[in-house]
Amino acid sequence: MGIWILNGFTVDADNEQTQRHICIEDGIIIQVINGGEAPDTAGHTVIDAAGKLVSPGFIDMHVHLREPGFEHKETIATGTLSAARGGFTTIACMPNTRPVIDTVDTVKLILDKAETEGAVRVLPYGCITKNELGRELTDFAALKEAGVIGYTDDGVGVQSAQMMKDAMNLAASLGMPIIAHCEDNTLVEGAPVTEGEFARKHGLKGIPNESEAIHVGRDVLLAEATGVHYHVCHVSTEQSVRLIRHAKQHGIKVTAEVCPHHLVLSDEDIPDLDANWKMNPPLRTPRDVQAVIEGLEDGTIDIIVTDHAPHAEEEKAKGMMLAPFGILGFETAFPLLYTKFVLTGQWTLGFLVDRLTAKPAEVFSLPWGKLEVGSPADITIVDLASEQEIKKSEIVSKSKNTPFIGWKLQGWPVVTIASGKVVWS
């Protein structure tokens, strides 16, 4: 017995919208009918998607699931369910767990747990350096063999240029990407927010834009020298956008991602010293926000990721200086971007959906992100008309650290199907 999803509409990157009936069985899309009368659905479960968007399940290439080691913040079970609520069916998890994902055993542990306890598909990254200490490369070949999809020390920047170059050479020889958290530690020194209005007003030390952009500049040159696929994490500054644009113009194999919060918030929106507004990279100035939006719009930045970074309430209660960096991402991403960019007419729906589905699949050569006969049945149904307020009590993630509580947003995922199973409705 399969599932028929009737009368919904799909959208492509050019914003072409088509009414469709879609049948899935055994985890695969087995039939797609364009328009017209509903087919005979006898013997199947029926989901009425009339008036709703039927999208390939969203893909999030940058998330933190916290297991193993930080299960008080999130687990693979709670994190993947939070992803499902947000409409994500494939998520790529960062290795800054405890232990970090730098051995074959830890990769296996993640994959096993995801298989048995996860609501959606989990793709692990492995560390670039052992323990993310920047001193010694991990065993890239063994990690690849175990199932990682790329290498990153997310959470910290790789400080040594030579170490990064060695990593790129090795990754290139294996046909694997390097995913970089760009941050020069010598320029940061314990600052909690960006250099800008907010830091000045509160007398706080600021994180300068160069701390990110210096690594981007260094790394695109190293990527050119080594030929690796180099992917920049959570781009937040005008300078980084400029450097990536220049690198792409010169044929360097660089791709990049941006987070919803860096597209909709600047440091001037931070209301007070509440650490739910603290993340790395920090909210930047309005000028940077404008630059990352333009970067996404012109293709300099390829994809949208959430950087879902759960932290417990007591950790965030330590205040702006002492609390850890990071905010939740999964459950607010689509409604936030739909409300702020599509409803306002700045982006088409097709553009937004593409940057969350087909584009990430293309950038990382993944087989998901499309609704075609024979494709895995990863499908997200979105009620574009529904408006809801973000309430702390409704957050599925184990943590509640988001600055968006109380925001009224439109465009909520209502059914998420992963590998043919309804994982959220």
| Smallest separation, CB 332 to ligand NCD (Å) | 15
Q: Is residue 262 a known part of a binding site?
A: no
User: Out of 60, 307, 354, 378, which one is annotated catalytic?
Assistant: 307
Residue 29's SS3 state is strand
Residue 84 or 323 having the CB closest to ligand NCD: 323
Determine which residue in the list 154, 195, 238, 302 makes contact with Zn ion, applying CB under 5 A.
154
* Residue with the shortest CB distance to ligand NCD: 326
Residue 264 or 327 having the CB closest to Zn ion: 327
Contacts of 118 (CB under 8 A, 6+ apart): 76, 77, 80
Angle 114-118-121 from CA coordinates, rounded to 5°: 70
Q: Is residue 109 a known part of a binding site?
A: no
Q: Are strands 178-180 and 121-124 parallel, antiparallel or unpaired?
A: unpaired
Binding mask 143-172 for ligand NCD (x = CB under 6 A): -----------xx-----------------
181 binds Zn ion (CB under 5 A): yes
| Smallest separation, CB 6 to ligand NCD (Å) | 40
Strands in 88-93's sheet, in edge-to-edge order, are 58-63, 88-93, 121-124
- Give residues 83-122 in contact with ligand NCD (rule: CB under 6 A): 96
207 binds ligand NCD (CB under 6 A): no
Residue 231 or 340 having the CB closest to Zn ion: 231
| Smallest separation, CB 94 to ligand NCD (Å) | 6
60 binds Zn ion (CB under 5 A): no
Q: How far is CA 228 from the centre of its chain?
A: 21
285 binds ligand NCD (CB under 6 A): no
Q: Is residue 261 a known part of a binding site?
A: no
Residues 264 and 284: beta-carbon distance below 8 Å? no
Taking 3-state DSSP, the helix, strand and coil percentages for the chain, each rounded to the nearest 5, stand at: 35, 25, 45
- The string of DSSP codes covering 36-101 is SSPPP-TTSEEEE-TTSEEEEPEEEEEE---TTT-TTT--HHHHHHHHHHTTEEEEEE-S-SSS-S
Number of Cα atoms under 13 Å in the Cβ half of residue 402: 27
Q: Is residue 139 a known part of a binding site?
A: no
215 binds Zn ion (CB under 5 A): no
**What is the residue whose two structure tokens read 């992803």?**
83
Residue 23 or 76 having the CB closest to ligand NCD: 76
Residue 279 or 363 having the CB closest to ligand NCD: 279
Q: Is residue 308 a known part of a binding site?
A: no
Q: Is 88 exposed, middle or buried (0-12, 13-18, 19+ CB in 10 A)?
A: buried
Give the DSSP H/E element, type plus range, for residue 148: none
Contacts of 359 (CB under 8 A, 6+ apart): 302, 303, 369
218 binds Zn ion (CB under 5 A): no
Catalytic status, residue 307: yes
Residues lying near Zn ion in the complex (CB under 5 A) = 154, 181, 233, 307
Tell me the binding residues for Zn(2+): 62, 64, 154, 181, 234, 307
Residues lying near ligand NCD in the complex (CB under 6 A) = 64, 96, 154-155, 181, 279-280, 307, 309, 324-326
- Residue numbers annotated as active site: 307
